[in-house]
């Protein structure tokens, strides 16, 4: 079955922002190479992910910055590889208002998120990443739609910006698969969804 992974990039207070903090303007990995989070989330998965799902704001932001057309000549090679990957994969943009997307291999879907996710999962293809933004990911968490979650937690209490957390339908249990620290105090957390009997027993 196609695996669905959600990506979260948040401050300690759960805001979807990329604030400045000591080290944030320096490479977290070796210069010119992807850091651990980027490798695990993207570079290592170029061969098994065929669909990336984004809300409208996330989609238009990625098209502007991360499509091959948006790349800057001095960007490192791994970002060009990322752009080639994003151009190539199927992209689903969730939107009520966009009709034209101007990015190859893209389509617009709208409506009930649980039905949309079930539909995409039933189609032929490899694994699926739900990239954001925070409002979409909150809905994914609320409806328990992803099989696993990668968190990048930045060492900042930011106090403003879009929220990842909010009211839930019910308690959701996640199992920690790995936790690590990056060079400037960021946490990289990987959780999988706990379903079935284990979830009911609160295990
Ligand atoms: N990965 C990321 O993209 C990321 C990560 C961290 C922080 N951020 C920041 O977060 C901000 C954007 O966050 P956001 O959470 O507001 O944006 P978002 O989730 O990317 O986009 C929200 C929009 O998606 C559409 N949408 C979502 N669910 C839908 C559904 N079921 N059916 C139809 N349309 C649906 C709606 O667009 P319509 O209005 O067109 O209907 C909605 O207004 C940016 O400032 C960005 O810098 C982004």
Distance (Å, rounded) from C-alpha 110 to C-alpha 93? 8
Ligand 1 mutation target, pool 65, 100, 107, 162, most atoms within 8 A of CB: 162
For the CA of 134, the closest atom of ligand 1 is 15
Mean pLDDT to the nearest integer, 130-141: 96
For the CA of 17, the closest atom of ligand 1 is 7
* Cβ(131) – ligand 1 distance below 6 Å: yes
Residue 120 CA to its chain's centroid (Å): 16
Q: Which helix (H) or strand (E) holds 58?
A: helix 56-66
* Cβ(161) – ligand 1 distance below 6 Å: no
pLDDT in tens, 99-130: 999 999 999 999 999 999 999 999 999 999 99
Smallest CA separation from ligand 1 atom 1, residue: 132
Q: Residue 43: which CATH number? A: 3.40.430.10
**Phi/psi of residue 95, each to 5°?**
-165, 145
**Phi/psi of residue 79, each to 5°?**
-75, -35
Asked whether the beta carbons of 169 and 186 are under 8 A apart, the reply is no
pLDDT in tens, 184-198: 999 999 999 998 766
The chain-wide mean pLDDT, for the chain, equals 94
Distance (Å, rounded) from C-alpha 104 to C-alpha 66? 13
Number of domains in the chain: 1
203 has pLDDT over 60: no
pLDDT in tens, 150-196: 999 999 999 999 999 999 988 899 999 999 999 999 999 999 999 87
Distance (angstroms) between ligand 1 centre and the Cα of 9 equals 13
Q: Find the distance separating the first CA and the last CA of the chain, reported in whole Å.
A: 24
**Phi/psi of residue 93, each to 5°?**
-105, 125
**What's the domain range around 147?**
4-200
Asked whether the beta carbons of 26 and 149 are under 8 A apart, the reply is no
């Amino acid at each position: 079955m196609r695996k669905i992974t959600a990506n979260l990039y948040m401050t300690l207070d759960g805001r979807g922002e990329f604030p400045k903090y000591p080290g944030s303007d320096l490479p977290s990995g070796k210069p010119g190479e992807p850091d651990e989070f980027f490798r695990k989330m993207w570079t290592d998965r170029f061969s098994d992910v065929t669909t990336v799902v984004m809300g409208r704001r996330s989609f238009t932001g990625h098209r502007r910055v991360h499509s091959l057309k948006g790349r800057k000549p001095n960007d490192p090679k791994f970002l060009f590889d990322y752009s080639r990957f994003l151009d190539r994969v199927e992209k689903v943009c969730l939107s009520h208002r966009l009709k034209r997307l101007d990015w190859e291999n893209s389509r617009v879907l709208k409506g009930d998120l649980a039905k949309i996710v079930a539909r995409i999962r039933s189609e032929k293809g490899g694994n699926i990443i739900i990239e954001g933004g925070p409002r979409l990911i909150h809905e994914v968490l609320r409806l328990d739609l992803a099989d696993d979650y990668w968190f990048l937690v930045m060492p900042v209490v930011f106090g403003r910006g879009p929220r990842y957390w909010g009211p839930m339908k019910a308690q959701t249990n996640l199992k920690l698969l790995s936790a690590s620290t990056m060079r400037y105090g960021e946490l990289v957390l990987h959780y999988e969804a706990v379903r079935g009997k284990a979830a009911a027993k609160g295990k």
